[in-house]
Structure 1
Amino acid sequence: MILIADENGLYGSWFMGQKYDRLGFEDLEIAEQSSSILSEAQAWLDAYFAGQEPDFCPPLSPQGSPFQQRVWQELVKIPAGSTMTYGQLAELLACKSAQAIGGAVGKNPLSIFIPCHRVLGSQGQLTGYAGGLERKVWLLEHEGLSLDDKSRVVLRKKND
């Protein structure tokens, strides 16, 4: 993964080669160096990938429009092992377009930290994921969800 931060917060986390990789940061000279924010982000990711639910999070500083910010703030509220549809998000945000919600979700600059992988199509089916559908499947299964034979998420833990 690629992480971008400064002393104020984490601006981006992307899978290598994902769609919108470093969007908004393409023209900046980025130096590889350590920082307390990056260390905290790495510790958070290590805990998440170890199957733990981290009880801490680095300061997040996603850059986007006010509408995108509203959508991303709702995504953070979806707990691990749970999902929401684009339509449910649209209703929650009083937005008439699930497609507009999808556009904001797709441009989320903080993969995993802002859990856009937990957003599904109207029938619980997998839809696009900037990091790739295979990663979305892995992340959902990592959080204990299962898929049925039509690639729809079954909202129960694997061990239930």
Structure 2
Amino acid sequence: MNQKYFEKGLHEPLLYQENPILKLAVKWLQAYFSGEKPCFSDLPLDLSGTAFQKKVWKELQTISYAQTMTYGQVAEKLGVKSAQAIGGAVARNPAAIVVPCHRVLGSQGQLTGYAGGLEKKIGLLKHEGIRFNDCRP
């Protein structure tokens, strides 16, 4: 899985077997990757994290398909003084793609880190037709 925080917060190892939640997740991801714009409410998310992280992740869910925000804009919307604090919460998002942390860019629209790897972030942004400044850090 090669994601920095993969399975963080799970109380037991992730089992790859068929169950109703995984069926919904697969359906959601298939819709997303086929070019549809599935709703977040289609998945019963119960994310483990601090109150601050959950607040940030909830804000990320307001970023529409093919739109972006900067870390600073997220901070401003939440009344937080530090864009870096936002970045820390974004990096620990346990539901990447579904909670669209890939839609958060640096202050000049540039790429920043991505827990799943920068190439994956680029692929997701391109999939959504998002233009970005490819001045990699």
TM-score normalised by the chain length of structure 2: 0.91
C-alpha separation in 1, matches of 2:67 and 2:128: 8
Instruction: Look up the match of 2:93.
Output: 108
In structure 2, do the counterparts of structure 1 residues 94 and 149 end up closer, same or farther at CA, with 3 Å as the change threshold?
A: closer
Instruction: Look up the match of 2:12.
Output: 28
In structure 2, do the counterparts of structure 1 residues 97 and 47 end up closer, same or farther at CA, with 3 Å as the change threshold?
A: same
Q: How many residues align?
A: 135
Listed as ranges, the gaps of 5+ residues in structure 1 are 1-15, 152-160
C-alpha separation in 2, matches of 1:148 and 1:70: 27
C-alpha separation in 2, matches of 1:100 and 1:114: 17
C-alpha separation in 2, matches of 1:90 and 1:36: 35
- How many angstroms does 1:68 deviate by? 0.4
Between structures 1 and 2, the one with greater helix share: 2
Between structures 1 and 2, the one with greater strand share: 1
- How many angstroms does 1:40 deviate by? 0.8
TM-score normalised by the chain length of structure 1: 0.79
Instruction: Look up the match of 2:123.
Output: 138
RMSD, matched Cα: 1.6
Pick aligned residue for 2:113 from 108, 128, 131: 128
- How many angstroms does 1:149 deviate by? 5.7
Structure possessing the higher relative contact order (Cα contacts under 8 Å, 6 or more residues apart): 2
Instruction: Look up the match of 2:63.
Output: 78
Listed as ranges, the gaps of 5+ residues in structure 2 are none
Runs of 4+ aligned residues of structure 1 deviating over 3 Å after TM superposition are 29-32, 147-151
Give the number of the structure whose alpha-carbon radius of gyration is greater. Answer: 1
Pick aligned residue for 2:30 from 32, 46, 62: 46
- How many angstroms does 1:53 deviate by? 1.0
In structure 2, do the counterparts of structure 1 residues 29 and 88 end up closer, same or farther at CA, with 3 Å as the change threshold?
A: closer
